[in-house]
Chains A and B, each alone.
Chain A
């Protein structure tokens, strides 16, 4: 005892070696458990990786979003806002810019999709860098006085599938048609925001949606100091009690809630899997072959204590489950970030005709690794406690006989 170092007393190398060979001796049984367990951790890890990536992607577009949005609410729905409010908001100290936006969703019945129509003014400050670039690059009033528009990649594909290659006929709210030329296609910084977008001049959007010149869809406010966003938002709330004031922080929180909710639901369903697995392991570990019984008998006959057998069984289950955990995490990394998670990502992105195709960005979050660890290894080890104890307390003379 005295010659042992501290490490040796905690970790017994020979026991680990014995545990390893014990696992290998039961090749088929352990391979079966390993593969199921790897698959479970893989599934779990993949789901968390995908949500993390999408959340990251959304949060990076969030930074490009306006800091404060002011919407008018009438009868519980969003209503057009007076453009004159812009000047009043601009008078609040700390506000660097306020822009009245004209935009809306246009339902294209043939394809069954919604386009996002965004109106821009050439001589106005744009609230997004991507729009600024578009305004500089394209001229919306080209020859023949036919208005033109810039469309996103997904919109372009959808239109040409319906034989609108050069132009598109919008149905205005009073029922007549409006022809708009397609002037170009753009890739915005992130495909997630631009795929279903159509950009044209504000006047055209007003005409299509029948919005008066003095009205706008909403107002976005830029604040110089991000620390002041909440104060300015509450000031706007006081000025326009009938309006809804949304800050980008609110959006971020609601994103986190949505994804926590989605992965929470998945996890709740997953619990059933976990407990089924728990039962399988329990069952597998309890059913001892006569060979295994004899093995324990011999070990005890040559002087192993109950504690030693328990320790060896613990090493066995820990090695197996930890190996499965590492494998599962590794597969999940490859599946999500190399193969872009086919099938599984649709659960989170949702299915639509104009579904954005984007790469899942690589996000390394140690907390997720811990989360998956706590959901896998302890549960497996727990399932083996009772069977291991039964094995360890077998009587040597009874089993060898």
Chain B
């Protein structure tokens, strides 16, 4: 069990969120089952009122969740000083068997909540509120994921053993590691880069074709190829070390917190890409989504590509 003020803060807010999420969940279920816009009953009138409360709560949770996610990463970094062997958040994530799942779940939830917000916006702009049922149905699913996240976070922090030796990111993210991560390093760099840049070109191509489903799909695969290439290839150039691949260390002060920028670009880029594909929206707003996606994904590619480029210009060799 680890009881630092940061962990306690996360727990307090999680409890608060869970409390409100349960309210929103109950309302969502009611709305999802009984919503009928054409009805003029008292019940429908009440539901309409309650939909505002549920939406406000969900908006509130998401608005705090985003900065809290950054704070969570920050906290992991801080805990790593206490754990023997850990040098950054990677060690803490790996300290328990839950860490990796928690992190993945957190990211998925961020995407879902952000998608919910977009849906809500589209819903509110239309006076017929055509997506109300769909958005509250989505929240019912999101609620279970969210509660799973809260529970998992509690379990993870209570499972961390301060006296146990954990692995450092240097050993976790190396080709000699035995975990599934090491498989990444078996892929040839040429193949990896081809897939990464190819994927980005595909996004551009699908933008020109204006095919929303393919566009969303290519963005989805861009999350995977982007993160894998970041770990396997670009990480080395950020650290200027051929052996270091950690996707957490560059969140720290030593690398000017560049990791936050990198992940921010990837999140906005891929999210608005997927959102543009899945959201029921007018052509103009979908076009904006395409452009934002293309812009941020482009910035992501540019930022990452500049690292090896500058390294080559300075040192005359590739790593």
Give A residues with C-beta under 8 Å from B: 48, 253, 256-257, 260-261, 263-264, 267-268, 271, 274, 306-307, 310, 367, 370-371, 374-375, 378-379, 381-382, 385-386, 388-389, 392-393
Contacts and interface: CB of A to CB of B under 8 A. Distances in A.
A330 B74 CA distance: 24
Contact of B5 (A264, A274, A388): A264
Contacts of B176: none
A3 B4 CA distance: 49
A388 B49 CA distance: 12
B72 to A, nearest CB: 11
Interface string B1-30: 001111011001100100010000000000
14 contacts: A48-B5, A260-B3, A264-B4, A264-B5, A306-B52, A367-B6, A370-B67, A374-B13, A374-B68, A378-B13, A379-B16, A385-B60, A386-B53, A389-B52
| Most interface-central of A268, A371, A386 (chain B CB within 10 A) | A371
Contact of A393 (B49, B74, B162): B49
Interface string B178-206: 00000000000000000000000000000
A393 B49 CA distance: 6
B319 interface: no
Contact of B9 (A261, A371, A386): A371
Nearest to A47: B5
A381 B60 contact: yes
A310 B58 CA distance: 13
Residue of B12, B67, B68 most packed against chain A (CB within 10 A): B12
B3 A393 contact: no
B3 A370 contact: no
Contact of A263 (B5, B57, B67, B68): B5
A247 to B, nearest CB: 11
Interface in B55-100: 56-57, 60, 64, 67-68, 71, 74, 78, 81-82, 84
B124 interface: yes
Given A256-B82, A392-B52, A375 B9 contact: yes
B136 to A, nearest CB: 16
Contact of A385 (B4, B20, B71): B20
B60 A382 contact: yes
Contacts of B82: 253, 256-257, 260
Contact of A374 (B9, B57, B124, B162): B9
Given A253-B81, A375-B12, A261 B3 contact: yes
Contacts of A307: 52, 124
Interface of B: 3-6, 8-9, 12-13, 16, 20, 49, 52-53, 56-57, 60, 64, 67-68, 71, 74, 78, 81-82, 84, 124, 162
A385 B162 contact: no
A378 B53 CA distance: 17
B74 A370 contact: yes
Contacts, number: 73
A317 to B, nearest CB: 11
Given A253-B82, A263-B5, A370-B74, A378 B16 contact: yes
A268 B52 contact: no
Contact of B52 (A263, A310, A378, A379): A310
B271 to A, nearest CB: 17
A152 B172 CA distance: 49
Given A267-B8, A306-B49, A378-B16, 6 more contacts: A261-B3, A267-B9, A310-B56, A371-B9, A374-B13, A374-B67
Contacts of B81: 253, 256
Contacts of A393: 49, 52-53
Nearest to B162: A257
Nearest to A367: B74
A385 B56 contact: yes
Q: Tell me whether chain B's interface is mostly helix, strand or loop, or mixed.
A: helix
A389 B16 contact: no
Nearest to A1: B125
A98 to B, nearest CB: 25
A264 B71 contact: no
A379 B68 CA distance: 13
Contacts of A381: 60
B64 A389 contact: no
A386 B53 CA distance: 7
Contacts of B68: 374
Nearest to A375: B9
The residue in A48, A260, A381 that gathers the most chain B C-beta atoms within 10 A of its C-beta is A260
Contact of A389 (B8, B9, B56, B84): B56
Contacts of A268: 3, 8
B13 A370 contact: no
Contacts of B53: 385-386, 389, 393
B20 A382 contact: yes
Contacts of B84: 253
Contact of B57 (A367, A370, A371, A385): A385
Given A378-B13, A392-B52, A260 B5 contact: yes
Contacts of A378: 13, 16, 64
Contacts of A389: 52-53, 56
Contacts of A370: 67, 71, 74
B42 to A, nearest CB: 13
Contacts of B49: 306, 393
B5 A371 contact: yes
Nearest to B12: A271
Nearest to B52: A306
Contacts of A367: 6, 74, 78
A264 B12 contact: no
A244 to B, nearest CB: 15
Contacts of B3: 260-261, 264, 268
Contacts of A382: 16, 20, 60
B310 to A, nearest CB: 28
A381 to B, nearest CB: 7
Contact of B4 (A260, A306, A392): A260
A233 to B, nearest CB: 13
Nearest to B7: A264
A264 B8 contact: yes
Given A256-B81, A389-B52, A374 B71 contact: yes
Nearest to A366: B74
A275 to B, nearest CB: 9
- Which are the 8 A-B pairs with shortest beta-carbon distances? A260-B4, A264-B3, A393-B49, A389-B53, A378-B64, A263-B5, A267-B8, A306-B52
